[in-house]
Amino acid sequence: MSDLTLDAQALYADLLSGVRPWCRDGTRLVGITSGGAWLAQRLQADLGLPGACGVISSAMHRDDFAQRGLGGGGRTQLPFEINGAHLLVVDDVLYTGRTLRAVLNELFDYGRPASVKLAVLVDRGGRELPIQADFAAARVRLPATQSLALAQAEDGSLRFDLKTKALRPDAAA
């Protein structure tokens, strides 16, 4: 287990100040289920943006769909026109880039945005695809055996859960 400690509330404040300059008239927020959706909803309110933010699921376009299925990925809900929109996609943790690739495919099923920017709370490295965040509140390195997930308490406060995955016996060979 790592001694990594990340203050999700403090990182959210950094995220808020980091994306504020990008949010001009017409910018639409889209949160990736579930952690990114929580962040997008908070950003929408704290930035005073009109309307509702969107929520997008990567489930239907994942390259590991056969293994994962739909799971608890939620449903895509985009309460605004995608064609010509300036989108700010928000996620909690950027790792391999595969979720974002699936999200981009899902977005383009709904239309052709004018631009798409990505803001994340944590970029943990380990990319498998050439994808990067336009803004990351923190950049950390974690071994592949660890996972980092954003959790939301009933009062809306945020925290990170760091878990260590057990290696399969056959993986060590």
Q: Sorting pLDDT into bands at 50, 70 and 90, what band is 59? A: confident
Residue 22 CA to residue 7 CA, distance in Å, equals 24
Residue 118 CA to residue 95 CA, distance in Å, equals 13
Q: Sorting pLDDT into bands at 50, 70 and 90, what band is 170? A: low
Q: Sorting pLDDT into bands at 50, 70 and 90, what band is 45? A: very high
Q: Sorting pLDDT into bands at 50, 70 and 90, what band is 70? A: low
The architecture in CATH of the region 24-153 reads 3-Layer(aba) Sandwich (3.40)
Average pLDDT over residues 107-129: 96
- Mean pLDDT, rounded, of the chain: 89
Q: What is the chain's Cα-based Rg?
A: 16
**Nearest-CA neighbor of 131 among 105, 113, 151, 109?**
105
CB 134 within 8 A of CB 118: yes
Residue 125 CA to residue 132 CA, distance in Å, equals 9
CA 11 to chain centre: 14
Average pLDDT over residues 99-112: 96
Task: Give the per-residue pLDDT at 24.
Answer: 83
**One-letter amino acid identity for 93?**
V
Q: Sorting pLDDT into bands at 50, 70 and 90, what band is 1? A: very low
Residue 171 CA to residue 153 CA, distance in Å, equals 35
Q: Sorting pLDDT into bands at 50, 70 and 90, what band is 82? A: very high
Residue 12 CA to residue 59 CA, distance in Å, equals 25
Task: Give the per-residue pLDDT at 173.
Answer: 43
